[in-house]
A and B are shown apart, each in its own frame.
Chain A
Amino acid sequence: MNQVNKTIKLLRRSPYQALAAALAMSLTFFITSVFIILVIGGQIILNYIEQRPQVIAFFHDDTTEGQINEIIQQINNTDLTTNVKYVTKEEALAIYRERNKDDPLLLESVSADFLPASIDISVKKASDIENITKLVKERKEIDKVITPENLVEQLVKWTKTIRFGGIIFVSSLLSISFLIVIMVIGMRIAIRRDEISIMSLVGATKWFIARPFFIEGAIYGLVGATISVLLVYVIILSYSPNIQEFLGPIQVFPINPLFFIYLWAGEALVAATVGICGAALALYRYLKIK
C-alpha cells in the first residue's frame, strides 16, 4: 500500500502524461465494453428469434386431420426442428382477436372459417429453414408458406460481423494503448533518471527501482477499465427505456448488476496486464542502471 501511495504521489507530480495514458485506456475499454454488449445483445435477439416459429405453413380448408398429422410426422422425422405446433382455425381466430382487440372494426364478421389452420415450425439451425420450407411446399395440402425473410440469417451474419470487427478494432486500440503506456513510462523514466541513478548508487535493487513503474502501468489499466465501465453503466441506465421500446417483446432489460461487476473485473484484469506489460517493455528499453 505504501508503494501504491508513493506511486500515486509521483503521478500527481506530472499528471498530464498519466492522464493521457489513463484516457487512452478508458477509450479502449469503453469501445471494448460497447462491443461486448453489442455481441451479447445480438445473441439475446438471435436466441429470441430462433425460439420463434421460423416457418409457418397454412393448410387448404379441405385438409383432413390425418393428412395434417402425416405432415407433422414427416417434418419431425427430419430431426431439423425443435418444435412443430399445429394451430387450428379456432386457435387462429383467438390469436387474431387478441392481436386486434383494440380495433373493433377488424373483429366484426370474422369467424374461424375465414382463417386457415396452420403449423408453426421452429428449426434447430437457421440454415435449415430452406430445407423445411422446400419440404412443406412440396405437399399439395399446403396452401401457402411464410418465412421471416432470412431475418435469422441476416442476424447471424451481423452478429458475426460485429464480433469479428470488434476483435479487430479492439485489438488495434489495445495496441495503441500499449504503445502509449510504453511512451509515457519511457518519458517518466527519462524524467526520473537522476533519481534512478541516485537510487542505484545507494544500493537499490533493479526490482526496487522498477516496481513503481509496474504499479503505474497497472494503475493506468485499472483507472481506464473503471472509467469505461462506469461510462457504459451510466449510458445504459439512461437509455434502457428507449432501447427496450425499440426491441419490443425481446426482453433485454434490466441487466443484472453482476454483469457490470464481471465486465469490470475482466476488463480490469486485461487492462492491468496491458499496463504492466507496457511498463515491462518500457523498463527493458529505457531503464539503464550501472
Chain B
Amino acid sequence: MLNFESVTKKFPNGQIALDNITLEIPDGEFVFIVGPSGAGKSTLLRLITKEIIPTSGTIIVDNEDILRVPSGKIPLLRRKIGMVYQDFKLLLSRTVFENVAIPLEVLSLKNIDLEKEVDSVLEKVGLKDKKNSFPVQLSGGEVQRTAIARAIVAKPKILLADEPTGDLDPKNALSVVETLEKINKEDKTTLIMATHNASIVNHFKKRVIVLKDGKVEKDEKIGKYESS
C-alpha cells in the first residue's frame, strides 16, 4: 500500500510542484501518472524514494511513514522500490549483466546466486542473449529493458517508471510497457508509471491519475488521457 496524505512540495525557488495531493495505491496495482511537463509527475516519484522530502503531508510506503525513516535506513526503504528512468541511468562501461547485477551486489549476494538471479531476470525481459553486450551496442528498447531488469532484479515491492518510453519509438515504447505489465501481473509488483504518452496510456486501460499544476485533476479506475 502506498499513501499520499495532503502532500505538498514547494521548492526553494518558490515553485509549488505538488499541492496538497492525497492518493492511495493498493498493492499490485498498475497506475499511470500523467500530465504535461512540470505537472509534478517526477516530483511525486522522487518523493517516494525519499530523494526529496515533502514540505508538508505524510507519505506511507509499505506501512512505513517514510518521513520518519532515519537517513541511515533510507537504503533499506529504497531496496523495496525499483526505479526506471527516461535517461536509463546505465553505466556505459559495464555490460548488460554487470548493470543488472548492481542491486544484487548492494545486497552482497554470493556470485553463484547473483548470476542465477540476473540470468533469470534477463530472460524475463528478453535480453538473455545480450548479457555480455555494452549499452552502446543495444537498441533504445533493449537499453530500457536493461534498465527495467536492473529495477526488478532485487524483487522490489514497488516499481516506479519515470517516462520510460520518452526516448523510444512507438514500437519499442509499446514493447517496454508490455514488459512492465508482465512484471506487474506475474510478480504482483505495484507499478507506477509517469508518462505523457497518451497512446500508451489509452492502449493499456489502467488506472490513470492526471496531474495538472501539482494537483490531481482526475483519478479514474480505467482512465484515458488526452494530451494537449
Which chain A residues have a beta carbon within 8 Å of chain B's beta carbons? 2, 13, 194-195, 197-205, 208, 290
CA distance A195 to B154 in the complex (A): 17
Whether B91 and A203, one on each chain, are in contact in the complex, defined by CB atoms closer than 8 angstroms, is no
The answer to whether A290 and B51 touch across the interface, beta carbons within 8 angstroms, is yes
Task: Decide: A195 and B78 in contact? CB cutoff 8 A.
Answer: no
Q: Which residues of B contact A13 (CB under 8 A)?
A: 93
With A203-B78, A203-B103, A208-B106 as known contacts, state yes or no: A198 contacts B91, CB within 8 Å: yes
CB distance from B37 to the nearest CB of A (A): 22
- Determine how close the nearest CB of chain B comes to the CB of A19; give it in whole angstroms: 19
Which listed residue, B51, B76, B102, B107, touches A198 by the CB 8 Å rule?
B102
> Chain B residues with Cβ under 8 A from A201's Cβ?
49, 51, 78, 83, 89
Candidates B72, B76, B89, B93; contact of A203 at CB < 8 Å: B76
25 contacts between A and B (CB under 8 A): A2-B111, A13-B93, A194-B89, A194-B91, A197-B89, A198-B89, A198-B91, A198-B102, A199-B102, A199-B106, A200-B75, A202-B78, A202-B83, A202-B102, A202-B103, A202-B150, A203-B75, A203-B76, A203-B77, A203-B79, A203-B103, A203-B106, A204-B75, A204-B106, A205-B75
A199 to B103, CA, bound (A): 7
Q: Of all chain A residues, which has the CB nearest B106?
A: A204
Q: How far is the CA of A201 from the CA of B83 in the complex (A)?
A: 8
Given A194-B89, A208-B106: A202 touches B154 (CB 8 Å cut-off): yes
Which chain A residues lie closer than 8 Å to B76 at the CB level? 203
- Contacting A at CB under 8 A, from B58-86, are 72, 75-79, 83
Complex Cα gap A13–B76 (Å): 30
Give the distance in Å from the alpha carbon of A200 to the alpha carbon of B50 in the complex: 11
- Give 20 new A-B contacts, CB below 8 A, not counting A194-B91, A200-B78, A202-B154: A194-B89, A198-B102, A199-B106, A200-B75, A201-B49, A201-B51, A201-B78, A202-B78, A202-B79, A202-B83, A202-B102, A202-B150, A203-B75, A203-B78, A203-B103, A203-B106, A203-B154, A204-B75, A204-B106, A208-B106
In the complex, chain B residues whose CB is within 8 Å of the CB of A2: 111
Tell me the interface secondary structure of chain A in the complex: helix
Chain B's closest residue to A2 (CB) is B111
Chain A residues near B89 (CB-CB < 8 A): 194, 197-198, 201
Within 8 Å CB of A194, what residues of B? 89, 91
Docked complex Cα distance between A208 and B103 (Å)? 12
* A208 to chain B: closest residue by CB: B106
Q: Which residues of B contact A198 (CB under 8 A)?
A: 89, 91, 102
Q: Contact partner of A195 among B51, B75, B79, B91, CB < 8 A?
A: B91
Distance, CA A200 to CA B79, complexed state (A) = 10
> Which residues 15-64 of B sit at the A interface, judged by CB distance below 8 A?
49, 51
Complex contacts, B79 vs chain A, CB 8 Å? 202-203
Query: Which single residue of chain B is at the shortest CB-CB distance from A13?
Result: B93
* B residues less than 8 Å from A290 (CB atoms): 51
> How many whole Å from B201's CB to the nearest CB in chain A?
25
Residues of A within 8 A of B111 (CB): 2
Distance between Cα atoms of A208 and B83 in the complex (Å): 20
Give the residue among B75, B89, B154 with the most A Cβ atoms within 10 A: B75
- Nearest first, the 6 A-B pairs at minimum CB distance are A203-B79, A203-B78, A202-B103, A204-B106, A203-B75, A205-B75
Closest residue on chain B to residue A205 by CB atoms? B75
- Residues in B with CB closer than 8 Å to A208 are 75, 106
Chain A residue, CB-CB nearest to B49: A201
B150 partner residues in chain A, CB cutoff 8 A? 202
Q: Nearest-CB distance from A261 to chain B (Å)?
A: 35
Q: How far is the CB of B54 from chain A (nearest CB, A)?
A: 15
| Complex-state Cα separation, A200 to B91, whole angstroms | 14
With the chains together, A13 CA to B106 CA distance in Å? 21
Give a binary string over B84-113; 1 marks a CB under 8 Å from any A CB, 0 the rest: 000001010100000000110011000100
Q: Which A residues lie within 8 Å of B154 (CB)?
A: 202-203
**Residues of A contacting B107 in the complex (Cβ-Cβ under 8 angstroms):** 203
Smallest CB separation, A128 vs chain B (Å)? 65
Provide the residues of chain A in CB contact with B75, threshold 8 Å: 200, 203-205, 208
Which positions 149-164 of chain B face chain A at CB distance < 8 Å? 150, 154
Q: Name the residue among A197, A202, A290 with the largest chain B CB count within 10 angstroms.
A: A202
Chain A residues in 8 Å Cβ range of B49: 201
Residues of B within 8 Å of A203, CB to CB, are: 75-79, 103, 106-107, 154
Residue of B nearest to A195 (CB): B91
Q: How far is it, in angstroms, between the C-alpha of A201 and the C-alpha of B79 when the chains are bound? A: 9
Please name all residues of chain A whose beta carbon is closer than 8 Å to the beta carbon of B106 when the two chains form the complex.
Answer: 199, 202-204, 208
Residues of B within 8 A of A202 (CB): 78-79, 83, 102-103, 106, 150, 154
B45 → A minimal CB distance (Å)? 11
